[in-house]
Structure formats: structure tokens, C-alpha cells
Chains A and B, each alone.
Chain A
Amino acid sequence: MAMSSAREEHLRLEGVGVSFGTVNVIPSLDLSVPKGEMVALLGPSGCGKTTTLRTIAGLNKPSKGKIIVGGRDITHVPIHERDMGLVFQSYALFPHMNVLENVKFGLRMRNVPSREAESRARQALEMVQLAHLAHRKPRELSGGQQQRVALARALVIEPSILLLDEPLSNLDAKLRDEMRGQIRSLQQQLGITAVLVTHDQVEALSMCDRVVVMRSGHIEQSGTPTEVYERPATAFVANFVGRTNKLKGTVAADGSLMGLGQVLHAASKPGPGTVDILIRPHRIHVSDGDGAGDAENRVRGEVSNVTFVGDLVQYTVSVAGDEIVVEESTRRGQKMLSTGETVTLAWSAEDTLVFPENQT
């Protein structure tokens, strides 16, 4: 964290607004990306994250504001002079060119001599382990391979910024895990500044130095993955980044928090009034006894449902008329709780996230 703030700024958006016709998709957005960092724009569909990315690339014209890269204002620089590597969600490979020609395209446009272009393109293909498929047409490749060609094509021009638009959303789960690691290590190896657009919190948290959570055209919170996950600024962020139990509660005039029919403890809370209390399922400890330990919050309830997911077991516990979902990772030889058992739930004050009502 301390290191990243010391890094030199590479990309900056200053009050950028985008409108489509009369619809103001992005009212005004400020964003700063340090050199060599990978930043995620995370949010539900329609939050403006792809629009922001396309505006950086020049594919959308901003209605106001400035885009600055490396100290230079590029707001009015045409797309082809922006020097950005964009990886599309649909890959957008050139169907009439083979893999090598696809990768060479950007170099040819830059008038790189053909021999040099050839060797650089081959290097880029080796980087994504596709050198053996250089003469295939895109349609003869699997989704994962096409994705890697798209990545090689964007990286070979040594762009000043790498832009990734939901690059993994068309891949199956296993391949996605693999590609996450591969993209991240390439980005770090090349020290390239990157912006990743995604609606998948796992992708954002695991791949990026910084996560920017967006909602209907504005930024809800910007921070490191741990900050965003552990100290969400709003109920929306808490809910979108990771799963939560949502409970109704009140903060009394004396500042005490009431929920689940008893006093609860939270590290921070808003002023008096009705509140939403959010607790992450896997941060709750469940035990069949009185629940030893030093967690500040402790409630008793009855197990109403047990779902075995494999690496996780989910318990639904009824507490004072509310349902609370608790997750535990499974271990061999572990005794699972069964329906109808009376249990104690325990969690810390730090894991009790309290927000004014109905923010989500």
C-alpha cells in the first residue's frame, strides 16, 4: 500500500463524463492509476465500467473532462495514435488472418520492418505459449487460445496501457483460474500499467493492486483488495464484493447497536436510526456448545438447513426469526452439524459491518 502510493502516476481521468444521446452514463469520474499497477473497475453490468474503459481507449468520446497518460493530455488524440492494447471480451481477432498475422497487425500499422515484426510477433506468441499455432486461423482455436492470441496481439505493440474488457468471462471456470494467474504474471513481468474491467469480484481481488468499485456511473470505493473487502465504504460495496448476511437493526441514541433481539458489537457504526447489519458467512464461527473464544458477538440459534458444497458446508441458522447463513470449510473427519441442533454463532466486532438502512 505504502509502495503503490509512492509510484509515479501514469493514467489519470479528471472529471470525465460520458453521455449517449440524452443519457448521461457517467456524470463525472476521477481516477488515478500509478505506473506498473493493475487496477480493476468492478461493478454490476450497466455501472459504466466498460464505458470508462472504452473512453480511455478513445472508442467513446467523453462529453467533458480530461484523460491524461504519462503527463500528456490525450482527450482529443485519435484512437490509432493512443498506443493502447485493448483485449476485448469477444477477443475480436481478425477472422481473415492467421494467428501470426493477427499478432503482427499492430506492428505493421507502426511500420516496424517486416523481419523485426515477424520475430517480435513470434516472441509474443511464445510468451502466451501459442508459437506452435502461428499459422492457424482464429476459428480453428479454442476460446482460451483465442483469448491468449488477443492478449499477445495487445502486448506485442508494447502499449503504454493494457486495457482488458472482461477478458475471462467467456472461458470455463478452470481455464479462468489459469488465465488469471497468467495475465497477472505477464503484467507484472512487463511492468505494464493495466486496467481490468470485470463484474467478478474474485478476478478483481486476486489480479489487481487496486480495486475501483463502480455503481451507476460513479465510484463507490477505491482501494486495495483488502481495504475494499475488509472495510467496505458502503453497503453496496460490502454486498457486491463477497457475500453477506443482511440483518435489520437499530442504533440507539446512546450509540448501542441492537440486532437479532440483543445488543451487538461493531467496530464502527453510523448515527442513531435504522441500520443494515452485514456479516460475511465465513467470518461467523459456529459451534454446538456454548462457543468458547473471545469473539465479541455471540448468539444462539437452531440449524434449519445444511448444504454440503464440497470444499464448503453451508448452515442456515434461525436466530430470533432471522436466517443467518454460515460457511465453514470442510476437513476430513470433521463432524457436521445436523438440522435441529442448537448452536452458538460467534463473530468479531470488526466483522460486523453496519450501514444506514437501504443503501444496497
Chain B
Amino acid sequence: MIAESHKRELSAGQLAVVLLLPIALVNVVGFILPILNLARYSFNRARIGGGIEDVFTWENWVDLVSDPFYREILFNSIWVSLCITLVTLVLSYPIALYLHRATGPWKTFLTVLVISPLLTSAVVRTYGWIALLNDNGPVIGIIKALGLPSPSLMFNIKGVFIGLAEILMPYMILALLAGFGRLDPRVEEAARTLGATPARTFREIILPLTLPGIALGCLLCFVLAVSSFITPKLMGGGRVFLLATEIYDQAIVTLNWPRAATLSLLVLIVFGAALWAYSAVMRRLD
């Protein structure tokens, strides 16, 4: 027994390396190498008809900065994603707060209800929205029946907003819940007994204590919004130009792979900036 245990014992560090090796390998092959490949393409030149000329050139990056079309797409993407994140947050926060306080089978039931949209693909849900929101759909029908001016809710930025906000809500709610750990009902009660009105309790206690959840949810939803493709593509009706849809157009329609690669890397840079902002907020909170 004793002799055996001496035979081969890994130190904690060695064990960690062994256990991390498989996922590290998957990441290198499935993530790092493709990104390096993308980085190479972004410095190549596109040939008409979809070929790639293997030369080193800065022109894709120069175009990105100098062409006002791309600048607009970039700012548009970030701005729209930020707005959608904010809308999603406002819609999700009360639900998350309620779920956090719910108990027993009711809580389980509601949690399942929140997660259930994730079991349906975004394509199906987007088509669902199209059926509801199109110019001859029931929503417009009700607005018209009420005698209100009927806006067009489909194939424009409004449709993208509605669709994406709904699709992102489960993610936001789950992220908020994960970050609500510090919110103890006793602490809220303490504030109330000390003379805080419900509104001040929310502002001074609940909101600050749920900020970690808010930051996490916003990061997640912003990243998902910037990279979302199906919903803007289908609900924007080709009239909404965002980074993800443009990458698709460049890669599949125009067959300009170097440009698509450059835009993809730009998305990656935006993610990096979002992550940096998130960790800055979290550092401040601690």
C-alpha cells in the first residue's frame, strides 16, 4: 500500500496541466488557429470571383478606417447593441428580481419558463416575430383597430430591436440572477426599518448590490447583440446594416474573404473593449 502510493503521485500543478490539456488542445485547434488564419487573410488581397491573393497589404485595414460606410457600420453596431442591451436590461431586471425572491415550486416553474425560449432556435423565434409584426400581422391589426397611427414594425431597425431584446432576455435574466448573490432580503428589511422608503431602499441598497449582476448581464447581451446575425438579417429585411450582417454579405455574397476577415477581427476588438470595460466596472465595485 505504502510502496504503491509512492509510485507515481502528481503534484497539484502537474495534475492541473494534465486536466487542462484536452480543452487547451480543442481551443488551439478550434479557436486560436482559425483566428490566426483570419488575421492572415485580413492582410491579403481579394481577387474578383472569390480568390485570395497571398500578398501582404494594409489596404483592408486602411479601407476600414477611411471608408465612411464601415465607420458607420461600426458605430451603428455598437450603438444599436448598447441600446438593445439597455432595453433588455430594463425589461429583464424586474423579472430577475421577482425570480430571486420567489421560493419553492413557483420559483422552479418560473425559472423553467424563463429558460424555455432558449430551447427553441433563434431562427424559429425570429420567424415567429415576423409573423406577428409584419404589416398585415395581428399587432399592426390591433394598432389599426384602435385607430392609432400604425408604424411599420418589420424590416427596419424597430423590428431588430423587438426581436433581439426578446431573444436576449433569457440570457440577461440568468446573468442577473447569477449576480444577485449579495442581495439578502434581511438587508433590505434593515434599510426599511432604518427609515428608507421603498424607492430609497431600491436606489441605495438593491441597485448597488445588484450591480455585479447588471454588469455581467450587459456584457453578455452586448456581446451577443454585436455578434447576432440571424435576427438582424431576417427582421432588418436587408435595410439594417450591422457588423455581423456585413461580414456575412462580404463572405457569402461578395466573396471578399479578406474584407470579411478584417471585419471579423474588428468585432473581436469590440469584444475586447467590452470585456475591458466590464472588468473596470467590477474593479470599481469591489
* A220 part of interface (Cβ distance < 8 Å): no
Instruction: Verify A94–B205 contact, CB threshold 8 A.
Output: yes
* B193 part of interface (Cβ distance < 8 Å): yes
Chain B: minimal CB distance from A60 (Å): 10
B80 cross-chain contacts in A, Cβ below 8 A: none
Known: A95-B209, A96-B208. A109 touches B195 (CB 8 A): yes
Instruction: Verify A95–B182 contact, CB threshold 8 A.
Output: yes
Which of A79, A90, A95, A110 sits near B193, CB closer than 8 Å? A79
Which of B187, B195, B198, B200 sits near A92, CB closer than 8 Å? B187
Chain A: minimal CB distance from B171 (Å): 25
CA of A110 to CA of B193, assembled, Å? 12
* B190 part of interface (Cβ distance < 8 Å): yes
Residues 161-214 of B contacting A (Cβ, < 8 Å): 182, 184, 186-187, 189-198, 200, 204-205, 208-209
Known: A95-B209, A96-B208, A109-B200. A84 touches B193 (CB 8 A): yes
Known: A80-B197, A88-B186, A109-B200. A94 touches B191 (CB 8 A): yes
Instruction: Verify B194–A92 contact, CB threshold 8 A.
Output: no
CB nearest to A106 among chain B residues: B194
Which of A59, A83, A110 sits near B192, CB closer than 8 Å? A59
A110 cross-chain contacts in B, Cβ below 8 A: 195
Which of B198, B200, B209 sits near A96, CB closer than 8 Å? B209
CA of A88 to CA of B189, assembled, Å? 9
Residues 84-143 of A contacting B (Cβ, < 8 Å): 84-86, 88, 90, 92-96, 105-106, 109-110
Chain B: minimal CB distance from A121 (Å): 12
Q: Is the interface of B mostly helix, strand, loop or mixed?
A: helix
B200 cross-chain contacts in A, Cβ below 8 A: 109
Known: A95-B209, A96-B209. A80 touches B186 (CB 8 A): no
Chain A: minimal CB distance from B212 (Å): 10
Chain B: minimal CB distance from A57 (Å): 5
Can you list, as one digit per residue, whether each of A62-73 has a CB less than 8 Å from chain B (1) or not (0)?
A: 000000000000
A105 cross-chain contacts in B, Cβ below 8 A: 191, 194, 196, 204
CA of A69 to CA of B189, assembled, Å? 20
A79 cross-chain contacts in B, Cβ below 8 A: 189, 192-193
A88, A109, A157 pick with most chain B CB within 10 angstroms? A109
Known: A88-B186, A90-B184. A57 touches B194 (CB 8 A): no
Known: A95-B182, A96-B208. A88 touches B190 (CB 8 A): yes
* A269 part of interface (Cβ distance < 8 Å): no
CA of A82 to CA of B196, assembled, Å? 11
A59 cross-chain contacts in B, Cβ below 8 A: 189, 192-193
Chain B: minimal CB distance from A228 (Å): 29
* A49 part of interface (Cβ distance < 8 Å): no
Instruction: Verify A80–B187 contact, CB threshold 8 A.
Output: no
Can you list, as one digit per residue, whether each of A321-346 has a CB less than 8 Å from chain B (1) or not (0)?
A: 00000000000000000000000000
Chain A: minimal CB distance from B193 (Å): 4
Known: A90-B184, A95-B209. A83 touches B195 (CB 8 A): yes
CA of A92 to CA of B190, assembled, Å? 6
CA of A52 to CA of B275, assembled, Å? 49
Instruction: Verify A80–B195 contact, CB threshold 8 A.
Output: yes
Chain B: minimal CB distance from A167 (Å): 13
Residues 221-275 of A contacting B (Cβ, < 8 Å): none
A88 cross-chain contacts in B, Cβ below 8 A: 186, 189-190
Which of A58, A90, A95, A109 sits near B194, CB closer than 8 Å? A109
B195 cross-chain contacts in A, Cβ below 8 A: 80-81, 83, 106, 109-110, 157
B187 cross-chain contacts in A, Cβ below 8 A: 92-95
CB nearest to A156 among chain B residues: B194
CA of A93 to CA of B184, assembled, Å? 10
CB nearest to A82 among chain B residues: B193
CA of A92 to CA of B196, assembled, Å? 15
* A199 part of interface (Cβ distance < 8 Å): no
| Interface pairs A-B: 7 shortest CB-CB | A109-B195, A106-B194, A92-B186, A92-B190, A79-B192, A86-B193, A109-B196
Chain B positions within 8 Å of A, measured between CB atoms, are 182, 184, 186-187, 189-198, 200, 204-205, 208-209
Q: A59-B193, A96-B209, A105-B191 are in contact. List 10 more A-B contacts (CB 8 A).
A: A59-B189, A79-B189, A80-B194, A86-B190, A92-B190, A93-B187, A95-B187, A105-B204, A110-B195, A154-B194
Q: List 27 A-B contacts (CB under 8 A).
A: A57-B193, A58-B192, A59-B189, A59-B192, A79-B193, A80-B195, A80-B198, A84-B193, A86-B190, A86-B193, A88-B190, A90-B184, A90-B186, A92-B184, A94-B187, A94-B190, A94-B191, A95-B182, A96-B209, A105-B204, A106-B195, A109-B191, A109-B194, A109-B195, A109-B196, A109-B200, A153-B190
Chain A positions within 8 Å of B, measured between CB atoms, are 57-59, 79-86, 88, 90, 92-96, 105-106, 109-110, 153-154, 157
